[in-house]
Structure 1
């Protein structure tokens, strides 16, 4: 009887421990809680060689073989890294050599190089089984070069006059000019508008996707986006829309926030991220001033997409390497900031292995799944911490220390406080925090481990060069969270006692 009681007590202890560790999971998941993994479909993973056709992995402008099956095979890999959503470059049928997906030929067909509609539906279902959202890249500004519609007399009025954009400060030219010589659709034509909206709604109805990343938003009239947003959200709610308004001036991006688009790619912060972390001893101040600015300008700054690189720019690894820096060290620092600052982190495929690459198309190399996975382990830690700490996705942000490459800041939500320390300098740094944090507590390291205890003068934080840490402020006298070691010990004792109990019953 005593053994049974002991087993029962241990079980209750385990349940209590697990309940505290998973308490955050019981909160309603919101879009700002997501971490997005961006995938260029053709360059990720070849799961079906039968659809490769004329693919040539040695030609950077040709198809390389990535497909829907390849992504489906790697969903567990994506999930284990802590990603909660995937953004896929356009999957629709493309004109010749449109490996990237942005030269659309048919808005209602999948790209035959990527696989069938059924294979894509399987990808969505398998992603949802793993609680991973699927966001599709949707292009309404243009179609592929030499599209058949150009020679269709019925669709003669579907396009703007063939003119390049010469004055980028003229909104009319920006909306009507042919971007990169691609046939520019006239969304003010009701036939064009209805066609694009119907196609967007059809994909939601057919495949149950969770959102669209909207390409080239500033090249399309705001009135269209207002109608588009309302229509697609009438099909599925919630449905997330994140827009690409490629402009360094945030005021230009802000001008689109009343269209119903939920969030936007933060290009201004992207430039600051790259400048701050591409080499050591650079000021991090702009990152925080940009955050203050975003809070003033945007209704939902927490829905801004934060990224350090993407498929249209030189990879960050390449930038760091050219600056004679260790790219993994610099990426760790940059991603630590992205995962702990306001906004939705968007990580370009291959970043987890520090994939190299210059400008387009070199920045779109085939993913290598045989690369060293040490950096992946760090990303897993970041993902786990971000999911466990609501203050990192919903909390206030306060800058505590900013000293040319050294930054310490606080994120607070309800009764939870997290301190983030980043040392992007060429030397070790020590800082004592006094009035900034409540005394008599402990700072529990969530990445490297270890504890910083409150002393007479405050909390003494030490960081080696190129090191960062995320600390949770905990009550040293009333910390109800069992350590992993204690939890494992309890489980082992429980199993031993249970086995003995079973054996004693058999012997009777």
Structure 2
């Protein structure tokens, strides 16, 4: 009996060694290879009841109890979907009511609602164990409404004079005005500049975080960002800075890249995504047009953060529902684009369960981990493909076809070509791709839905069901694989011989 069990154990090993194994070429991981999961800490996951003071889940502007331990507990959940980094809303101590983290009271303390410095260090360590990176939100533009510095005569010149922004095209007003009435820091003051830069460097040294998402970049002088970038990057190699420059003009955003900020939140693409993918039968041409602009204006367009929604916008789900669309179908289609197009995909927590929500604070609802997994499982497939196929992270990007919402894109990197087909219409679509557009004599292997398209004499005919997407790998045509069949036969011959010898040995023993 023991010999038979051993034989059953050895068979998979024999089968494994019968298959040819190709060693994948290892390339150094860069930030354009990441996918980011964005978390509003207070609204995500409550694991530590000891810090649940002033919690009221019925108050949209109150604390809900989410904390750093709650984020740590869900790292495997996040990684399972294919995300390789997390971005947290500010965790610095806020004044009362600052559940979101943007009303900073102390730049050197963790907000007690979220936990302790040890909790943050543990989170970073556990993320790094899983090969995940951690990005903190850093606010250099303002403090909370009632910061102690406002009543300190020695720090009177730490703030700009209280003024609203009336002309958003006037850069001086944009940089010196009080956004939403928040006290505007005077970064041109050497003391203020030194304080903010020292604080930013301190958190890196204390916790080993991997990057900052820079809040309200356009409201801070470019000269400050130039020095800030240089100094924080001196602390840790490959430290990443991704900035929020809320503008529809890519030229305006891209100009900040001259001052040391690596990437930017891609608001022009966000505008195109919400106009085209929240309803059917909308042309996808604008998505590609944004990429053409990005290539033109940015030095590093692959480091732009692409997204469907965030804590400052209406939820993508709500826009789809308002358009009388199925939000699940819409999200799956939109995420297919984000995970296969150039840029770093950033997904706001709750998108994976089609969380609804209007304007702030309705777009910051409590996460529900008991929801349906349909979107989660789909994103998991996308995440796996993005990590396995370098062309989806590093390849060039070409539009092969677009008509009324049916689009086909091509990405190519080294010897790898992938094709992305997105049907944003209400009907099944057939698209012909010519031999001039794709290498002839091969086949397209569907990796999301298992479709297979063999080339004909004059090209490829791709058929996609309504409101679905497929990601294809361009490969040699499959046929009768003689070496493979011979290997299988050899394995079974060896297995039968093994059983014969075992049986003969057992007879001799008796």
Q: Per-residue CA shift, 1:155-185, capped at 9, x if unaligned?
A: 1110000111111111001000000000000
**1:277 alignment partner in structure 2:** 277
Asked if 1:382 corresponds to 2:382, the answer is yes
Contact 2:15–2:488, Cα closer than 8 Å, also in 1:
no
What is the deviation of 1:398? Answer: 1.1
Contact 1:60–1:362, Cα closer than 8 Å, also in 2:
yes
Change (3 A) 1:489 1:92: farther
**Cα distance in structure 2, aligned partners of 1:492 and 1:54:** 68
Asked if 1:424 corresponds to 2:429, the answer is no
Contact 1:37–1:86, Cα closer than 8 Å, also in 2:
yes
Task: Classify the secondary structure of the residue corresponding to 1:456.
Answer: coil
Task: Classify the secondary structure of the residue corresponding to 1:363.
Answer: coil
**Cα distance in structure 2, aligned partners of 1:253 and 1:490:** 62
Task: Classify the secondary structure of the residue corresponding to 1:235.
Answer: coil
What is the deviation of 1:12? Answer: 2.7
Contact 1:10–1:490, Cα closer than 8 Å, also in 2:
no
Task: Classify the secondary structure of the residue corresponding to 1:281.
Answer: coil
Kindly name which structure, 1 or 2, has the bigger radius of gyration based on alpha carbons: 2
What is the deviation of 1:374? Answer: 1.1
What is the deviation of 1:479? Answer: 11
Contact 1:357–1:364, Cα closer than 8 Å, also in 2:
yes
Question: Where in structure 2 are the equivalents of 1:87-106 lying within 5 Å?
Answer: 87-106=87-106
Task: Classify the secondary structure of the residue corresponding to 1:286.
Answer: helix
Q: Per-residue CA shift, 1:79-98, capped at 9, x if unaligned?
A: 10000000000000001100
Task: Classify the secondary structure of the residue corresponding to 1:114.
Answer: coil
What is the deviation of 1:7? Answer: 7.7
**Cα distance in structure 2, aligned partners of 1:493 and 1:144:** 75
Task: Classify the secondary structure of the residue corresponding to 2:357.
Answer: coil
**Cα distance in structure 1, aligned partners of 2:488 and 2:125:** 34
**Cα distance in structure 2, aligned partners of 1:188 and 1:503:** 87
- More displaced stretch, 4-13 vs 248-257: 4-13
Change (3 A) 1:497 1:110: farther
What is the deviation of 1:289? Answer: 1.1
Change (3 A) 1:493 1:174: farther
Contact 1:11–1:494, Cα closer than 8 Å, also in 2:
no
Change (3 A) 1:369 1:493: farther
Task: Classify the secondary structure of the residue corresponding to 1:256.
Answer: helix
Where structure 1 has 5 or more consecutive residues not aligned to the other structure, the ranges are none
Change (3 A) 1:494 1:292: farther
What is the deviation of 1:5? Answer: 11
**2:82 alignment partner in structure 1:** 82
- More displaced stretch, 470-479 vs 164-173: 470-479
Asked if 1:69 corresponds to 2:74, the answer is no
**2:477 alignment partner in structure 1:** 476
Contact 1:317–1:327, Cα closer than 8 Å, also in 2:
yes
**1:193 alignment partner in structure 2:** 193
**2:250 alignment partner in structure 1:** 250
Change (3 A) 1:496 1:115: farther
Contact 2:18–2:488, Cα closer than 8 Å, also in 1:
no
Task: Classify the secondary structure of the residue corresponding to 2:363.
Answer: helix
Question: Where in structure 2 are the equivalents of 1:36-75 lying within 5 Å?
Answer: 36-75=36-75
Q: Per-residue CA shift, 1:216-253, capped at 9, x if unaligned?
A: 00000000000000000000011000000001111110
Question: Where in structure 2 are the equivalents of 1:196-275 lying within 5 Å?
Answer: 196-275=196-275
Contact 2:42–2:63, Cα closer than 8 Å, also in 1:
yes
Task: Classify the secondary structure of the residue corresponding to 1:379.
Answer: helix
Q: Per-residue CA shift, 1:85-136, capped at 9, x if unaligned?
A: 0000000000110000000000100010000000110000000000010000
**2:447 alignment partner in structure 1:** 446
Asked if 1:460 corresponds to 2:464, the answer is no
What is the deviation of 1:342? Answer: 0.8
**Cα distance in structure 1, aligned partners of 2:351 and 2:110:** 27
Question: Where in structure 2 are the equivalents of 1:256-405 lying within 5 Å?
Answer: 256-405=256-405
The number of aligned residues is: 497
Change (3 A) 1:479 1:30: farther
Change (3 A) 1:452 1:214: same
**Cα distance in structure 1, aligned partners of 2:260 and 2:65:** 36
**Cα distance in structure 2, aligned partners of 1:149 and 1:161:** 14
Contact 2:306–2:346, Cα closer than 8 Å, also in 1:
yes
Task: Classify the secondary structure of the residue corresponding to 1:455.
Answer: coil
**1:12 alignment partner in structure 2:** 17
Q: CA RMSD in A?
A: 2.8
What is the deviation of 1:497? Answer: 10
Task: Classify the secondary structure of the residue corresponding to 1:365.
Answer: coil
Contact 1:243–1:261, Cα closer than 8 Å, also in 2:
yes
Change (3 A) 1:388 1:165: same
What is the deviation of 1:498? Answer: 9.6
